[in-house]
Amino acid sequence: MKSCKTRTNIFAICIVLLTCAPWIVYSVPEKFLLVNMTFVPNAKAQGAVCLDGSLPAYHLHRGFGSGARNWLLQFEGGGWCNDVESCLERARSRRGSTKYMNRWAVFSGILSNNASLNPDFYNWNRVKIRYCDGASFAGDSKFDNGTVSLYFRGQRIWRAIILDLLPKGLNRADKALLSGCSAGGLAAFLHCDNFTQLLPSNTSVKCLSDAGFFLDAEGISLNRTMRSFFDKLVVLQGAEQNLDANCTSSHYYPNQCFFPQYTLAYIKTPFFILNSAYDVFQFHHILVPPSADLRGHWNRCKLNPASCNQNQISILQGFRGEMLAALRFFLKYSRTGGTFINSCFAHCQSESQDTWFAAESPRMHNKTIAEAVGDWYFERKVTKEIDCPYPCDTSCHNLIP
């Protein structure tokens, strides 16, 4: 069993136990809600299967009261695979097969059903969409060499789950929010307008990406490792056909439209971007990938930002500047968009109660992430928050993996 590293708080301990030892039934603190898995029974007939051919699944907790006709769908994150070897390895794990997933999911943060922990969305119908395709729900192809079969069917999984949810009340939604974290946050960019198209025309639909604004940026070795990675992914999994047609037909190299910074300008649905300017995944895999730091000069800095030297801080500030530059058009011209770009060393902040809405949650202008998202969704206030550069924010939870 692979080791799992996470923060030492009670929620993180629950996640570690559920993830690393799913065969054991654990007692979870009362304030955290456990929701059982629902398989999509007719998915196979639609060719909508996980990498290994298993059925896709989601977790649904019903809304009530004033939220009974409102829906929040949250894409699960979990990286990607871009070659047969890595996808095969993934297919033999919970990242590529529902056979290995825990049947219960913790609903916390934006998924909580507790009004004091999730004031704006606690009584909505809340869905966690499990991730088992390795391409942010965008692929549609198959690999078969006569010995091994891999199903790259993320796009079909997405559609099959929506079709399963529509008769369960999604087709009568008054309000809807499509969100996701990490690779799931990227999926929110890729599927936002399609989500709007699949719902009734009178539904108020908006989208939220948490830690999904992955940059097409050069690292310290001046290589664009993420561009190369995504390019192979798009080709292998047949994702280009499912990318935004307006983006792919523009002057950009079509596969670049897998990056949010290129497709964002074409998204018509109101969108909120929650991201750290020093996102730890991007810091560790885009800015300073292991291949660019073979001697480990960045190891201490990666583990603790306070250990970074002045040159490393300067490079990190440059990365922040590149992210803000990629968002400049959105920040200036989007009338329906919202942002919460803080200066915390973190990755995914919406599903953890610590960072979503708690007494010591990260804040900007004394506003938590939950309050910023709620103000934006319900149009209470214009919400385009940009934090000052590190290390000015003392409210941060620096979540180093």
pLDDT by residue (tens digit) across 106-157? 999 999 999 999 999 999 999 999 999 999 999 999 999 999 999 999 999 9
Residue 399 pLDDT: 62
| Polymer length in residues for the chain | 401
Q: Is the pLDDT of residue 12 over 60?
A: no
**Number of C-alpha atoms within 13 angstroms, CB side, residue 204?**
9
Q: Is the pLDDT of residue 292 over 50?
A: yes
How many whole angstroms separate alpha carbon 106 and alpha carbon 81?
A: 25
Residue 7 pLDDT: 40
Indicate if 279 belongs to the active site: yes
Token pair listed for 149: 């079969």
Token pair listed for 100: 């290995």
How many whole angstroms separate alpha carbon 143 and alpha carbon 151?
A: 7
How many whole angstroms separate alpha carbon 90 and alpha carbon 88?
A: 5
Q: What is the mean pLDDT of the chain?
A: 92
Catalytic residue among 120, 216, 244, 279: 279
How many whole angstroms separate alpha carbon 281 and alpha carbon 289?
A: 10
Q: 3.40.50, 2.30.30, 2.60.120, 3.30.1380: which CATH number matches 10-386?
A: 3.40.50
Residue 16 pLDDT: 38
Catalytic residue among 164, 347, 354, 361: 347
3-state secondary structure of 233: helix
* Tokens 């999911």 sit on residue: 105
How many whole angstroms separate alpha carbon 169 and alpha carbon 123?
A: 14
Is-contact 287 214, C-beta < 8 A? Answer: no
Indicate if 182 belongs to the active site: yes
Question: How many C-beta atoms surround the C-beta of residue 291 within 10 A?
Answer: 11
Token pair listed for 121: 């969305």
Asked if the bond preceding 362 is cis, omega within 30° of 0, the reply is no
Catalytic residue among 97, 179, 182, 334: 182
Token pair listed for 280: 């730890």
Residue 397 pLDDT: 80
Record the pTM.
0.91
